[in-house]
Amino acid sequence: MAKLYFKYGAMGSSKTASALITKFNYEERGMKVWLIKPATDTRDGDDVIKSRIGLSHSCRAIAKGEDLFEVFKAEAADVDAIICDECQFFTAEQIDGCRRIVDDYDLPVLCFGLRTDFLTHSFPGSARLFEIADSIGEIKTICECGRKATVNARITPDGKVVTKGRQVMLGGNDRYLAMCHRCWKKKINENN
């Protein structure tokens, strides 16, 4: 029986690398995978998923207004699995489309993404996955102090922690640093 999976982690926890390795594992066994991401993620091009360690693959970008379930039926109903990267940027309705694919087509849908933003607030896609996913797993990474990192700290070029701004601002190591909550609060207090 297929499941809706949510695999989340802080920035730098190798979520995208894990997604691409999972895709490889399916394909190595002769299975067809539909690799998708939200069109919001344009960091490496509109139709590319790329990990920080250099793994990359072409994908289908799903625009905010697209009905994910209908796009699936039109373009990918013959696949064996669906892998979604940066799923936090999907709308709640698009995540509901993933759930419907699992239920109606008995296909596994594996979603990889962030749990929260730079202020520790849920993203719409992540919040919905916590509500309806069959399997939820954390991909762990560590803070520079050695504790488990849970916060995606947005930083300035000089390393100060940002505490205001829009929820979505694309970036990598140049804009974000995974931290434990304790170090994040300490850095915020140092800025004041």
Q: In angstroms, rounded to a whole number, what is the distance separating the alpha carbons of residues 104 and 107?
A: 8
- Show which residues are catalytic: 86
- Give me the helix-helix angle, 92-105 and 124-132, nearest 10°: 30
Q: In angstroms, rounded to a whole number, what is the distance separating the alpha carbons of residues 136 and 3?
A: 10
- CB 39, CB 63: distance < 8 Å: yes
- CB 85, CB 112: distance < 8 Å: yes
Q: In angstroms, rounded to a whole number, what is the distance separating the alpha carbons of residues 192 and 168?
A: 24
